[in-house]
Structure 1
Amino acid sequence: MSAPARAAAPAAARAQPRIPQRFWIGLVAVIVYVALAAGVSSLLVDWLAPEGELAEFALSHIPVLLPLIIAGLVFARRSGWAEIWRTPAAFETRPRRWWMLVIPLLMLTQSIIVLTLTPWGNWDILGIALVALITAMVGLGEELYFRGILRSSLRANHGETLTLLVTSLLFGAAHSFGSAIHGEPVGTIAFQVGVTMLDGVLFYAAFRATGRLWVAIALHALSDFTLYLSSTNLADQNAIDVSTVPANIAIQGTLWALVVVVFISAMRQDLAARRSRRVVEQTA
């Protein structure tokens, strides 16, 4: 064996993941995350009965999210799944999809608009810091498990379209888990799944556009942070009179239209990949 070949062999071995990238592994990971995040938090609140909105908000998030995030980070490190944190950006592959960068930019702009309309007088420093900490944990946890571990488990063996669809659908279903437990009408649950699924597509697109998971994490955390601060209470993540601002209406409409474009782009990418494989097979 030549010297270059001997040098390449260890590098190839290191590139192999220590844990096989199987969909069931990613699925189990998100099921555990959702079940513990929703179930244990409710038990803690019912058991300890904290006084005050901020205390309940902290108790329902921090004790549960912290171990889940640690477990996810340990898995990401030891599994060898490099795609959890990094994937080829849309502008690094051919054809170069520079247009996808519009999605994270619009999402950032939308959050900035909400921040400018936030009633800061309703909050003190402690409350703002606590919301910032918890939303950062939520952004890291959900993106690590859904766009990181789950996406990597699917993308290793399937096309972009199926990966996009499944991760976004499960993301939407996960955010309706609480509504299902409390017996909300089927129509309400279906609407929640649909709306949150669109958010999942946008976070997925932000990751694909930049190739860095931290971008999706930051956008997710910032979005939750702005919506919580703009709401009347921490149990209702709806911005007050912010969604009716003309600029936000225009941005949201544009983002929803781009969701369709993202799916079309994913389908075209899969079609091009299949054609490329056929050419290689015919040549071989």
Structure 2
Amino acid sequence: MGTTSAVPPRERPARRLTYLGFAAIVVVYLVIIQGGGILLSKLSGEDDFFTTRGVFFGMIIPLGVALAFTYGIAAYLGWLRPVLHDDRPVRPWVRVVPIAFVIAIALGIDYSALADKGWVYVAVLLLATQFVGWGEEGMFRGIGVTVLRRHGLTEGRVALWSSVIFGAVHLTNVVGHGISALPQAVMVSLAGYFFYLIRRVSGGNALNSVIHGLFDFALLSGSAVVADQQSYVGTLLPVLVYPVLAIVLFVKRRDIESESGGVSGAGR
């Protein structure tokens, strides 16, 4: 009896995404979060995040849908691997970026305010902020970085434009926060570059997603959103990590790329 050799199934080729297509995806993502959050807040009668119910309807549901949308798009495009993994290493010293963030998070959390809110509220807020981290990192450091790379941009331009886009979309906060959204967008762009470096130094999109979520958790824990009072002074510690890392990275900007990375220009 003749035998036939097993032929491994062919992988579905990845789809191509234009810049306009990526812009459309980002718009839908924002509509889910902003529009969904407003709609659910009105339907539930919860227009703040002081309560577990408020966090659930205002954050968990819209952010959860946005997270599913993000990774659903990545799967549809056939991009799950490049979204979740990064094979362009940087020099080991860049580990200072995630280390600085972890220290800032640990020192910046208002543990007293969280204790007053109870463990259920804390758990729901922690989950909500992880949805923020995984969703935004999946969209901007995952899909965003991948689409820029596949259009042939140098790694320096990938770092720049993925961070600028990340900051620009936060200008939508001008609806609820007015002109204060402008400096926030600049700060968010800077944060985007830090998260991009965490992605590369860790070789994937997990560590930056977790740290992003925990960073937001720390900021919220010390704000009036959680404490229902004046902001916690310790919240300044996570904010200070921005100028400190910016100075370090500016000084070391030409020593970021790994010699084996094969791509130059992250510091250009």
TM-score normalized by the length of structure 1: 0.76
Task: Decide whether aligned partners of structure 1 residues 242 and 73 sit closer, same or farther in structure 2, where only a CA change above 3 A counts.
Answer: same
Partner of 1:256: 246
Q: Aligned to 1:214, which of 203, 206, 209?
A: 206
Give the partner amino acid of 1:19. R
Partner of 1:77: 75
Check the 8 A contact 2:191/2:242 in 1, yes or no: no
- Partner Cα distance (2:178, 2:31) in 1: 18
Task: Decide whether aligned partners of structure 1 residues 21 and 256 sit closer, same or farther in structure 2, where only a CA change above 3 A counts.
Answer: same
- 3-state secondary structure, aligned to 2:139: helix
- Partner Cα distance (2:17, 2:211) in 1: 27
1:170 Cα deviation from its structure 2 partner: 1.7
Give the partner amino acid of 1:202. F
| CA deviation string 1:138-178 (max 9, x = no partner) | 11111111111111111112111222122111211222312
1:18 Cα deviation from its structure 2 partner: 2.6
- The count of corresponding residues between Structure 1 and Structure 2 is 254
Partner of 1:278: none
Partner of 2:157: 162
Q: 1:80-99 counterparts in 2 under 5 A?
A: 80-81=78-79, 82-91=81-90, 97-99=91-93
| CA deviation string 1:19-71 (max 9, x = no partner) | 11433333222221112211221122134323773222221122222222222
1:261 Cα deviation from its structure 2 partner: 5.4
Partner of 1:61: 59
Partner of 1:94: none
Root-mean-square deviation (CA, aligned residues, Å) is 3.3
Q: Aligned to 2:219, which of 227, 230, 240?
A: 227
- Partner Cα distance (1:258, 1:113) in 2: 20
Q: Check if 1:148 corresponds to 2:138.
A: no
1:267 Cα deviation from its structure 2 partner: 9.1
1:182 Cα deviation from its structure 2 partner: 3.9
Give the partner amino acid of 2:86. T
- 3-state secondary structure, aligned to 2:216: helix
Give the share of equivalent positions with the same residue, in percent. Answer: 22
Task: Decide whether aligned partners of structure 1 residues 125 and 267 sit closer, same or farther in structure 2, where only a CA change above 3 A counts.
Answer: closer
Q: 1:116-155 counterparts in 2 under 5 A?
A: 118-155=112-149
Partner of 1:110: 104
1:234 Cα deviation from its structure 2 partner: 4.2
| Runs of at least 5 residues in structure 1 that lack an aligned partner in the other structure | 1-6, 92-96, 276-284
Q: Check if 1:39 corresponds to 2:40.
A: no
- 3-state secondary structure, aligned to 1:119: helix
Partner of 1:192: 184
Q: Check if 1:48 corresponds to 2:47.
A: no
- Partner Cα distance (2:28, 2:253) in 1: 28
- Partner Cα distance (1:20, 1:90) in 2: 24
- Partner Cα distance (2:227, 2:235) in 1: 18
Partner of 2:232: 240
- Partner Cα distance (2:112, 2:168) in 1: 29
Check the 8 A contact 2:41/2:47 in 1, yes or no: no
- Partner Cα distance (1:127, 1:171) in 2: 29
Check the 8 A contact 2:173/2:181 in 1, yes or no: no
Task: Decide whether aligned partners of structure 1 residues 165 and 233 sit closer, same or farther in structure 2, where only a CA change above 3 A counts.
Answer: same
- Partner Cα distance (1:274, 1:138) in 2: 30
